[in-house]
Amino acid sequence: MENRLDTPPIFQQIKDYLTGEIAAGRWQEGDVIPSEQALVKQFGVSRMTVNRAVRELTAAGVLTRRQGSGTYVAPHKVQATLVEIRNIADEIAARGHSHQAQPLRLEGTRASEALAAEFGLAPGAALYHSRIVHFENGQPIQVEDRWVNPALAPDYLAQDFTRITPNVYLMAAAPLQDASYRIEALAAPREIAELLAIEARQPCLVLHRCTRSHGQVASVATMWHPGARYQFTGQLG
| pLDDT the model gives residue 82 | 41
pLDDT, one tens digit per residue, over 100-125 is 999 999 999 999 999 999 999 999 99
State the pLDDT confidence band at 5, using cuts at 50, 70 and 90.
Answer: very low
Q: Do the domains at 10-73 and 88-226 have one common CATH topology? A: no
CATH homologous superfamily of 88-226: Chorismate lyase-like (3.40.1410.10)
Determine the number of helices (DSSP H) and then strands (DSSP E) in the chain: 7, 8
User: Over pLDDT 90: what percentage of the chain?
Assistant: 57
What is the model's pLDDT at position 76?
A: 59
Domain with residues 10-73, CATH architecture:
Orthogonal Bundle (1.10)
Where along the chain do its domains lie? Answer: 10-73, 88-226
Query: Which of these ranges, 5-14, 61-70, 186-195, 209-218, has the smallest mean pLDDT?
Result: 5-14
73-97 pLDDT, tens digit per residue, is 887 543 333 456 678 988 888 888 8
pLDDT recorded at residue 231:
73
Q: What is the mean pLDDT of residues 133-156?
A: 96
Q: What is the pLDDT of residues 27-47, one digit of tens each?
A: 888 899 999 999 999 999 999
